[in-house]
Structure 1
Amino acid sequence: MSATATAAAIRSGELLACPVALRRAAPVAAAVSFRMGRSARAGRLAMRVRVVAAAASVEGAEEGKGKKKKRAASGIMKPKPISPELREFVGGAEELPRTEALKIIWAHIKGNNLQDPNNKKIIVCDEKLKKIFGGRDRVGFLEISGLLNPHFQK
């Protein structure tokens, strides 16, 4: 079977009896679906392969990739008003998503080497962190997000 005949058979949506024909076919962008069923004539199980040309739809899909609608931020990604203490810590922003606040706090912890050397799960608070964490000297890393709750208005 020539490449043009194979391409024509693929474009027509012809059912192929053998998957070997797919391997010999010319490289054409196509969607392949498999279906198992009993053959009416032979009374035995047979597999049919359907190949549908998708060259035109593939080009259309590539063009449409950049046109997805962006959803509005929600949950912890949504910017919310923050308390004056946290506003001073982050540099004066009026609103901030909870995720960004955590990133800024962790950058401060890592940058100033504030993790306990013996137990990295414990953060030793400096003066800036004490203002945010209610005056506590040491905080567990799992407690940080809970201690930020009072700084975000609902």
Structure 2
Amino acid sequence: MHAPVQPSEELGAIVGNDKLPRSQVISKVWDYIKSNNLQNPENKREILADDNLKKVFGKDKATMFEMNKFISAHLKK
């Protein structure tokens, strides 16, 4: 079992502020992206950030692969 991690305040606005395993954090971010239709319809690998995701990504859009790097910067053990 993976050790729980603490989301930053910015990431907590998306996934909640409780400690969670990293896999659950990623899953909750994907749920948020899909429920808010934030995938580029022409390129589903690209995420179009809303105000909450901009605080995590630091930019207006990111690829699925970049997203993991940005999320990692917002997690503490």
Per the normalisation by structure 2, the TM-score is 0.87
3-state SS in 2 of match to 1:121: strand
CA deviations over 1:20-58 (Å, ceiling 9, x no partner):
xxxxxxxxxxxxxxxxxxxxxxxxxxxxxxxxxxxxxxx
Runs of 4+, deviation exceeding 4 Å: none
Query: Which one has a bigger Cα radius of gyration?
Result: 1
Greater fraction of residues in strand: 2
Q: Which residue of 1 aligns with 2:4?
A: 79
Aligned to 1:121: 45
Aligned partners of 1:81 and 1:91: how far apart in 2?
Answer: 10
- Could you list the runs of 5+ residues in structure 2 that have no partner in the other structure? none
Provide the C-alpha distance between the structure 1 equivalents of 2:17 and 2:76, rounded to a whole number of angstroms: 16
| C-alpha RMSD over aligned residues | 1.3
The percent of aligned pairs where both chains have the same amino acid is 39
Residue-pair matches, total: 77
Structure 1 portions without partners, runs of 5+: 1-72
Pick aligned residue for 1:106 from 30, 38, 44: 30
Question: For residues 11 and 29 of structure 2, what CA distance do their matches in structure 1 show?
Answer: 10
